Amino acid sequence: MSMRIIPREVIVEKVADLCFKAAVDLPDDVYRAIKRAGEREESPIGKSILVNLVKNADIARQERVPICQDTGVAVYFVEIGTSVDMSQWDIYEVLEEATTLGYTRGYLRLSVARDPLEDRSNSKTNGPPVVHLKLVPGDKLKITLAPKGGGSENMSALAMLKPLAGKEGVINFVIDTVRKAGGNPCPPCIIGLGLGGNFEMAPFLAKKALLREVGERHPNPYYAQFETEILEKVNASGIGPGGLGGSTTALDVHIETYPCHIASLPAAVNLNCHAARHASIEI
């Protein structure tokens, strides 16, 4: 069977463009959700903020400037078809080069520190990115970029709950995380909730959950109902847009699950700001 060759420069160019597009074009589902929330919000400040966020997204789209100055760390979800010839390039190197090209060419902010502790100086390339790979059947390369800002990432949390804590334990953990976060993660947020797996998998599930469209429910009715229940409780917290009060603290809650150890109930909350940016290409 012949392997499909995808030239390195094609991937670099397309992914660099993707970096810019993700930074300036707010996805339609998020845009609509903010607009709808602005029509319903009763707190005057909350309403004012939501109306300004719609204005902000319009300016960014029309003038081709970043929606938010924190253009984030580039997080890639890559699906590589097993019939793609992977001996042609190293996908990690290709994505790092594309990230640097896209961020510098697009006047995006370089927000990566060289080292977490020893050397906090700016890497000046916005690299390296965070890359999640998945092998799938076929000869396509699908790349989703979800740039992630520091403000919302900093307020995310992981808990190893007791299995018998059940739904109530999960709700308490989510509400507690959202309360502690306050205005820091730029609410209204999108809440990614990863349940199950293990210590490192739950946060990955939570991050993956952020890629789902706003308003789209979990395919399992049990979790679909749970998403709605958590959303209502979060919005009853009163934190509101910008943390300045109101009924719009989250735009949506998305759950992803995986089986887990009989003794465990890992739960991870990954908060995303209202500038919930993501963009995909298939090559």
Partner 1 sequence: MVKHVSLPLTAEDVKSLKAGDEVLLSGVLYTARDAAHQRLCKLIDEGRELPFDIKGALIYYVGPTPAQPGRPVGSAGPTTSSRMDGFAPKLIACGLRGMLGKGGRSQEVIEAMKQYGCVYFAAIGGAGALMAKAVKSAEIIAWEDLGCEALRRMEVENLQAYVAIDAEGNSLYR
Binding site for partner 1 (CB under 8 A): 45, 48-49, 52-53, 55-57, 59-60, 63, 65-71, 107-111, 122, 124, 149-151, 154, 182-184, 186, 238-239, 242-245, 273-275
Q: What's the min distance (Å) between Cβ of 241 and partner 1?
A: 8
Smallest gap from Cβ 238 to partner 1, in A, equals 6
Alpha-carbon span 160 to 167, nearest angstrom: 14
CB atoms within 10 A of CB 73: 19
Contact, 269 vs 205, CB < 8 A? no
Q: Determine the distance from the C-alpha atom of residue 178 to the mean position of all C-alpha atoms in its chain, rounded to a whole number.
A: 16
Long-range pairs for 120-123 at CB < 8 Å and ≥24 separation? Answer: none
Do residues 275 and 49 touch, judged by C-beta distance below 8 A?
Answer: no
Nearest-angstrom CA–CA distance, 199 and 205: 11
Closest CB to partner 1 among residues 47, 218: 47
Our CB check for partner 1 shows the closer of 48 and 172 to be 48
For partner 1, the closer of residues 70 and 97 by Cβ is 70
For partner 1, give the closer residue by CB, 27 or 182: 182
Q: Give the number of other CB atoms < 10 A from CB of residue 184.
A: 15
Q: How far is the CB of 50 from partner 1 (least distance, A)?
A: 10
CB of 123 to partner 1, least distance (A): 11
Nearer to partner 1, 188 or 192 (CB): 188
- The Cα 270–Cα 168 span in angstroms is 19
Shortest distance, position 280 Cβ to partner 1, whole Å: 22
Between residues 124 and 167, which has the closer beta carbon with respect to partner 1? Answer: 124
**CB 40 to partner 1: min, Å:** 18
Q: How many residues does the chain have?
A: 283
